[in-house]
Structure 1
Amino acid sequence: MKKRLILGLVFVGLFCPIFFVKADINPKLNGVIPMKIEEVNSVHVERLLGGSRIFQINDGYEEVIIRKVIIWINTSKPADKVSDFKSYKSPVKLTVTMRNGDVAFIEPIFICNRENTGKPCTIIDGEVLFSQNKVKVRLKSQELYDWLLVGWKNESYGASKEELLDETLYFRYLPLLGEEYSDFVMCPKIDSIERVAGANRSHIIQASALNYGAHHGDVPFDRIHITLSDTPENGLKITNVSIERGISDKESGIQCRRDS
């Protein structure tokens, strides 16, 4: 009897944790596994009456856009069930394609009244329908809803001239820092340039950037601050370097010019 009890406890200890993990994959999405940014290949928005845009993960600028969309999906909340998902044709659809070939669809939700021929369907503000592997989930996310209807059309194409100029200057300075700071290459920014005593060939430069190693979102970004002097007498010279650890999401958004 004692041996049976011990064997029973061993069985529970070995196998029950596995059962618990499987049962709690993602309560918010009713069993749909949360998306990981590193597993996404592209996000494609297409309108029924024309107009579309695709965002690729291998584009550094568009990766930031994809990241916020995936965060909205993963942090959305479940809504009440809807009676009929097939009673309308969506005017716009978002397709998320994963690296392994899996596909998920997000579209706005309409409540349709077949008896009212004047206005058969009404869109539900702030809610979307998530579909993946024959599973349909109604979700609440005002940010995702707004972006799906309008926001994607307002996303900029590529980097601005200002960002390209910042990159050009920053990567001219980066080799002076050495291998110790080689990871600070994300969202480089020239914060200020000032003349030294009015001389038009001597300047003090303040620059900053984020560490690329945190771009998957598992930990907060660190930010480097660099002060340099650029004079005809001494050339380029670093005068100060400091690291700002674990900056906020808002600060990293400002650094990458994704927030105001």
Structure 2
Amino acid sequence: MRKVVILVMVIVGLFSSIQLVKANSQPKLKKEDVLYVQVYRLNGETRSFKENDGYEEVIINKVVNWLNTASPSEEAIELELTKTPVVSIMKLKMKNGDVAVIEPAYNCVAENQVKTCTIADGEVLYTRNNKKVRLKSLALYDWLLVGWKYESVGAPKDELLEETLYTRYFSYLDETYADFIMCPKIDKVERKNGDTRRHIVHASALNYSAHHGDAPYDRIHITLTDTPENGVKITQVTIGKGISDKESLIQCRRESE
């Protein structure tokens, strides 16, 4: 009986080790490690998304999140493809000089000494440091093939207008709040006593120091009046400590409210 118990424990241990190795093979990236993402099609179309562009950084974060949350595929990794359709290939340039490649995965069938390969729907190959991993991610797959072409160029006009207004009002704040410059929003503007020249403004932003992800964001809420006779007057300032990830994504327009 004791031998049976030991044997079962060994089998369980081996199975757990296999599962652990398999889990550890899943690629994980930190968004702050990526310098830029470049996508190009074999017909010559190309586009880059850079880390130092505030709007394009959001797109890089989206790609990294898809990669990190993709699930492993059990299908074989085809290493020799003689003929491939015109598809997109993505390169992620890291700040340490590494280059990772994401490309569509293929399913191949050999029949009568002829090998036929077709793109595997919803699956990609991730290569870094000569190691290939096949992953399942429909969102990443769709974006790799066509989604990147339809990303907006630069921030929308309404977002730029909000940033401009927030910058104007931010200058009236005490230096105590100097860190609250990330993802500024004008949450609400209302006329004061119905006058089109006098307004009450509600604005918000996140603290920049938390953007590395070491701690949750804090959020500032500012209420002010803007009138011809008195200019800008701050009437209320409150700080929300440690807001949720969902709230911070909404603040930065990365998730729908």
TM-score range, shorter chain: 0.7 to 0.9
Report the count of equivalent residues: 236
Contact 1:29 1:78 in 2 (8 A): no
8 Å Cα contact 1:28/1:77 also seen in 2 = no
For 1:40, which of 31, 34, 39 is the aligned residue?
Answer: 34
Residue 202 of structure 1 aligns to a residue in which SS?
Answer: strand
Contact 2:26 2:133 (C-alpha < 8 Å) held by counterparts = no
Residue 181 of structure 1, aligned match among 177, 181, 198: 177
Instruction: Name the amino acid aligned to 1:155.
Output: E
Question: Unaligned stretches of 5+ in structure 1?
Answer: 1-24
CA offsets per residue over residues 127-177 of structure 1, 9 Å max, x none? 110111111111122221122122212211111211111111101111222
Write the letter of the residue equivalent to 2:47.
R
Distance 1:116 1:221, change over 3 A: farther
Distance 1:101 1:69 in 2: 19
Identity of aligned residues (%): 58
Divergent runs of 4+, >6 A? 116-119
Give structure 2 stretches of 5+ with no counterpart.
Answer: 1-19
> Quick one: distance in 2 between partners of 1:105 and 1:89?
16
35 and 86 in structure 1: CA distance in 2 versus 1, 3 angstrom threshold: same
Letter in 2 for 1:63: E
CA–CA distance in structure 1, aligned partners of residues 147 and 112 of structure 2: 31
Provide, for residues 70-129 of structure 1, a one-character-per-residue CA deviation record: whole Å limited to 9, x for no partner: 122222222114052322536111100111211110111111224389993232222110
Tell me the distance in 2 between the aligned counterparts of 1:29 and 1:50. 36
Corresponding position of 1:62: 56
Alpha-carbon contact 1:96-1:105 (below 8 Å) kept: yes
What letter is aligned with 2:84?
A: K
Tell me which residue corresponds to 1:28: 23
Whether 1:259 aligns to 2:227 is no
Counterpart of 1:163 in structure 2 is 159
* Residue range with higher mean Cα deviation, 182-191 or 79-88: 79-88
Task: Provide the C-alpha distance between the structure 2 equivalents of 1:167 and 1:201, rounded to a whole number of angstroms.
Answer: 21
SS state at 1:120 partner: strand
TM-score by length of 2: 0.83
Structure 1 residue aligned with 2:46: 52
Q: CA deviation at 1:181?
A: 1.2
